[in-house]
Structure 1
Amino acid sequence: MNTIHENKDLQNLLNTFSVDQGNYTFSKINQGYINDTFLVLEHGQPLYILQRINSVVFSNVPAVMSNMSNTLSYLKDKEYSTVALVPTKTGELFCELKHQDYWRLIRYVPNSIAYDIALNTKVAHEAGKILGKFHSLLQNATSDQFVDTIPQFHDLKLRKVQFQEAMNNASQERLHKAIVAIEFVTFIFPQLSELSSLKLPSRICHNDTKLNNILFSKKTNQALCFIDLDTIMKGYFYYDFGDLVRTIANTGKEDEKNHDKITFDKIMFESLLDGLKTTSNFLTPPELKSLPLGVVFMPFIHGLRALTDYLNNDTYYKVSYVDQNLDRSLSLLDFSKKALLQIHYIEAMVTKKLQASGN
């Protein structure tokens, strides 16, 4: 992909969208691993999010944007402040600047903030609540309206095959460095097999519900909405639940090297469950049964993907130093291990707090 960093280039790009003429400035946002994102400001006030969609990761950009548009049509509720796409001047959802160089524009949600870690139990509670609200609003969405833009995104069998292929092709140096992660991955695969035997309803899922993909009110810390809707497609509720838990109950950052800092925070976990309980009456008994292993599964699948990417010489995730993908993998797998050690507690809490709200 071409590189755009100059304000003049970004201004010319912005002019392809249906926005008023203005003296805009641009500030790069570095939270995401996949897309290139810029905050668009006028007189210091944020107005839009301008984003290049990574067409290597998302090979079918029209389908990504169609999924996003379909999703937004359902996310209309007084308790859900959805994001809004700004069309191009020709009425399209995105613009193709050059071949496979795709950009979109999203209205900035005023007085909002995203957190990398849960600062307090209020944030955890609100995150659980907005997750349930998101899924309850999408209950009536049908799968034929959506395209699997990354087929088998969280499919363990596929990720296992990719991991084994990466091991076969990896350098000896990287295999040696990754030996601890490889041994743990091999050990835990069989323990997650129970999930595949459950008869779960397919739902339209976000599929990337890490905490910093939720916007909160700067004034009240109320959760407003989910952002980064690129991975909207069919899935199971435990995907979104487990992914949110891994960034709320996990006390370490995603590439934390000191694993003593990584613990399973029970207080944050219970606060998340309390929030989810207020909006989760759509959950079925099999879905409730899947949630505890989902807490183990999601950090594991992310750790497995980071490990696979490391063995493949970092072709998927952005890295800022040589072994960052390995550090991500080890950190995520460590949290997965610690969640597994708490599995009976997690089962008890899910039963206690959510069972009454399930169908």
Structure 2
Amino acid sequence: MSVESAAVAAMPLLPADVLAAYQFTPEATVRLFGNGHINRTYLIENSIQKLILQQINTQIFPAPQQLVDNALRIEQHLTVKQQQGLYPLQILRQQARQDGHYLSGEQADLRALAFIDGGRSIEVVETPAQAFAAALTFGQFAAALADFPADELHTVIADFHNLGFRFCQLDDAIAANKAGRLVDCQELVNYCQSQRALVTELEQLCADLPRRVCHNDTKINNMLYSDAEGRGIAAIDLDTCMPGYWLFDFGDMVRTCCSPEPEDSLNPAAVRIRPEIFTALAQGYLQGLAGIITAAERQSLWLGAKVMCLMIGIRFLTDHLNGDCYFAVHRPNHNLQRAENQLRLYLDLLAQQDQLQPLLK
């Protein structure tokens, strides 16, 4: 256990007034829940009900009310679709306090979510069936929101998937070299810089694509999976839902699902794109969006896979050069290792392009 987690464990998890706002007594069971890296999440439980309570990280999300507003708009839209028989998944629902407000705590940074029973989170993709289920779930989520006016959602993180902006951040980190690390990763920096043409390609392609509601964090553990039914039952963690392009959601699935190794693996030789997992992702996502996705959007998905691997690699490399200011690190060169793994995925995509790209056509 880290020093931080030990300190958290020694503190009262939630004050009595916060529990009371959601009709729980101090005798309710409260425990840390999940393994998210941004928000701190609790499960509150008594003999009658369960509730998820999240402490929003205001360093990342400085306007928590915007997250709540976005989630409520999405919840309302999906509820109508569900009532029409057009959305087969369970819906992540915001839970109001007794007084009707949705944020609690001294800093107004706590919000509650109804607990969805009957599913579990998968941390590492083990089979094509799991990958298919995740892609189908996120495809169905996107399809149900295809007629939602995306630009009515708040942009909670500006330039989140702006590749040009991420290259500018890398440029600044190279120029400053404030941690003195450039000499040790110059080759990786040079390779990233050599791929800058993707910025223009992405900008030109997106000019012809419709703006969509995007989840923007389509890791497999943001799907609840039912072992009994063998399918996804809900898309969760809607904090980064914003206007965007479906290519980024598909690309993030490829980036996080296709490697048999974790993002920060110390076995870089094993980091690769598993073609059977890519195939399952393509089949599931396109099935979920059948009849809705345009030809141009289908064409864009391959670029999305490349862009997300490259862009997250650039972000890890930038943070390494800046002295590990953004992503949490647990060992020397942690962000550099993450960056190298992302670039290995990018290179493996390029090597398998003739085999994989036709799956999206």
Question: When the two structures are superposed, what TM-score results if normalisation uses the length of structure 1?
Answer: 0.89
Counterpart position of 1:80 = 89
Task: Sort the Cα spacing of 1:23 and 1:220 in 2 relative to 1 into closer, same or farther, 3 A.
Answer: farther
Equivalent residues in 2 for 1:242-253, closer than 5 Å: 242-253=251-262
Displacement of 1:186:
1.0
Amino acid at match of 1:332: Q
Amino acid at match of 2:286: K
Note if 1:224 corresponds to 2:233.
Answer: yes
Distance 1:13 1:322 in 2: 42
Displacement of 1:22:
6.2
Counterpart position of 1:215 = 224
SS at match of 2:129: helix
**What is the root-mean-square deviation in Å for CA atoms of aligned residues?**
2.2
Note if 1:311 corresponds to 2:321.
Answer: yes
Counterpart position of 1:125 = 132
- Paired residues of 2:273 and 2:348 also in contact (CA < 8 A): yes
Equivalent residues in 2 for 1:203-352, closer than 5 Å: 203-280=212-289, 281-351=291-361
Q: Quick one: which of 152, 156, 164 aligns to 1:149?
A: 156
Task: Sort the Cα spacing of 1:273 and 1:96 in 2 relative to 1 into closer, same or farther, 3 A.
Answer: same
Displacement of 1:13:
5.5
Displacement of 1:138:
0.5
Displacement of 1:188:
1.8
Q: Quick one: which of 16, 19, 25 aligns to 1:21?
A: 25
Note if 1:201 corresponds to 2:202.
Answer: no
Distance 1:46 1:124 in 2: 31
Counterpart position of 2:4 = none
- Paired residues of 2:198 and 2:307 also in contact (CA < 8 A): no
Counterpart position of 2:16 = 12
TM-superposition CA deviations, 1:188-238 (whole Å, max 9, x none): 221453221121111011111111111111423311122111111110010
Displacement of 1:30:
5.5
TM-superposition CA deviations, 1:269-293 (whole Å, max 9, x none): 1122222232212111111111111
- Paired residues of 1:38 and 1:50 also in contact (CA < 8 A): yes
Distance 2:45 2:89 in 1: 24
SS at match of 2:32: strand
SS at match of 1:216: strand
- Paired residues of 2:214 and 2:249 also in contact (CA < 8 A): yes
With 104-113 and 11-20 compared, the bigger mean Cα shift is at 11-20
Task: Sort the Cα spacing of 1:87 and 1:46 in 2 relative to 1 into closer, same or farther, 3 A.
Answer: closer
Distance 2:188 2:33 in 1: 31
Distance 1:42 1:191 in 2: 52
Displacement of 1:242:
0.6
Displacement of 1:5:
4.8
- State, as a whole percentage, how many aligned pairs show the same letter: 27
Unaligned runs of 5+ residues in structure 2 are 1-6
Distance 1:182 1:285 in 2: 35
Amino acid at match of 1:249: C
Distance 1:29 1:308 in 2: 30
SS at match of 2:52: strand
SS at match of 1:298: helix
Displacement of 1:21:
3.0
Q: Quick one: which of 39, 51, 56 aligns to 1:53?
A: 56
Unaligned runs of 5+ residues in structure 1 are 352-359
Number of matched residues? 346
Displacement of 1:86:
1.4
TM-superposition CA deviations, 1:97-125 (whole Å, max 9, x none): 23xx6111112211221112212121111
Following superposition, which runs of at least 4 residues in structure 1 exceed 4 angstroms of deviation? Answer: 3-7
With 229-238 and 11-20 compared, the bigger mean Cα shift is at 11-20
Task: Sort the Cα spacing of 1:299 and 1:306 in 2 relative to 1 into closer, same or farther, 3 A.
Answer: same
Counterpart position of 2:141 = 134
Distance 2:353 2:200 in 1: 15
Displacement of 1:171:
3.1
Distance 2:170 2:281 in 1: 32
SS at match of 1:97: coil
Amino acid at match of 2:349: A
Question: When the two structures are superposed, what TM-score results if normalisation uses the length of structure 2?
Answer: 0.89
Task: Sort the Cα spacing of 1:183 and 1:27 in 2 relative to 1 into closer, same or farther, 3 A.
Answer: farther
Displacement of 1:168:
1.9
- Paired residues of 1:257 and 1:331 also in contact (CA < 8 A): no
